[in-house]
Amino acid sequence: NAGVTQTPKFQVLKTGQSMTLQCAQDMNHEYMSWYRQDPGMGLRLIHYSVGAGITDQGEVPNGYNVSRSTTEDFPLRLLSAAPSQTSVYFCASSYSPESNQPQHFGDGTRLSIL
């Protein structure tokens, strides 16, 4: 039972480069989301999706794009990496947005922008 799988685990980029952080879940969850975690800031929501084909912005969406073509996958794209995007990124999923079920988190992608 894989749960939520994030790849890569670590990545170093140069300013201006683009990349995609992958997230996949095998629990048939409708709701998926991306957070960034920075020291002293807790978790901040970047983008979320309530189902295939439906995405919306969270608290800190600038510089990031998402798409949801399947229920399982929810990739996060950095369009032009900036040092301020150095962070740990977590993907999470839950059964449905209206449910009272907890979220399942991946183990994160640690991203450094030079």
Partner 1 sequence: AQSVAQPEDQVNVAEGNPLTVKCTYSVSGNPYLFWYVQYPNRGLQFLLKYITGDNLVKGSYGFEAEFNKSQTSFHLKKPSALVSDSALYFCAVRDSSGGSYIPTFGRGTSLIVHP
Residues that bind partner 1 (CB under 8 A): 4, 31, 33, 40-43, 45, 48, 58, 90, 92, 97-98, 100, 102-108
Q: Which is nearer to partner 1, 81 or 108 (CB)?
A: 108
Q: Which is nearer to partner 1, 27 or 82 (CB)?
A: 27
69 vs 18: CA distance, rounded Å: 20
Shortest CB 42 distance to partner 1, Å: 4
CB of 64 closer than 8 Å to CB of 47 = yes
What six digits make up the tokens of 91?
A: 């993907």
Task: Count Cβ atoms within 10 A of the Cβ of residue 53 and give its class: 0-12 exposed, 13-18 middle, 19 or more buried.
Answer: exposed
Q: Which is nearer to partner 1, 86 or 103 (CB)?
A: 103
Shortest CB 81 distance to partner 1, Å: 22
